[in-house]
């Protein structure tokens, strides 16, 4: 299992646009076999940082999702929406693996 953690720097004046963007991606990740854990929007503290996390059974399945998302019309539309609204300034992607109690 691999969990992708995304840390976004967003335009705080375009929070509604970013929230809409995030809501587009939740079902798209699940369409390709992932489990989305949600988008986390600014509340207290920094007003320009948002997070997202989703899990795939393996890194190979995540990579397949990435390839397929580049060909999927709904994913392409979501990418285009973010580009047009400029709600995302930058992002970083980190991968984690779980450690469970034995």
pLDDT given for residue 100 in this prediction: 84
Give the pLDDT confidence of 7-53 residue by residue, as tens digits.
999 999 999 999 999 999 999 999 999 999 999 999 999 899 999 99
User: Is the pLDDT score of 98 beyond 90?
Assistant: no
pLDDT given for residue 102 in this prediction: 74
Q: Is residue 100 part of a domain?
A: no
Q: Is residue 99 part of a domain?
A: no
Q: Is residue 23 part of a domain?
A: yes
Q: Is residue 101 part of a domain?
A: no
Q: Is residue 77 part of a domain?
A: yes
The pTM of this model reads 0.90
From residue 93, alpha-carbon distances to 44, 69, 73, 84, 102 in Å are: 23, 16, 23, 21, 28
Total number of domains constituting the chain:
1
Q: What percent of the chain has pLDDT over 90?
A: 93
The residue segments making up the domain with residue 80 are 2-93
Q: What CATH code is carried by the domain that includes residue 40?
A: 3.30.70.100
pLDDT given for residue 72 in this prediction: 97
């Amino acid at each position: 299992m691999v969990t992708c953690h995304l840390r976004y720097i967003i335009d705080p004046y375009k929070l509604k646009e970013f929230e809409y963007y995030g809501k587009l991606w939740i079902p798209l990740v699940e369409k390709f076999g992932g489990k989305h854990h949600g988008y986390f929007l600014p509340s207290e503290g920094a007003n320009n940082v948002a997070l997202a996390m989703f899990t795939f059974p393996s890194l190979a399945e995540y990579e397949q999702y990435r390839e397929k998302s580049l060909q999927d019309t709904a994913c392409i539309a979501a990418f285009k929406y973010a580009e047009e609204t400029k709600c995302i300034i930058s992002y970083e992607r980190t991968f984690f693996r779980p450690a469970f109690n034995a």
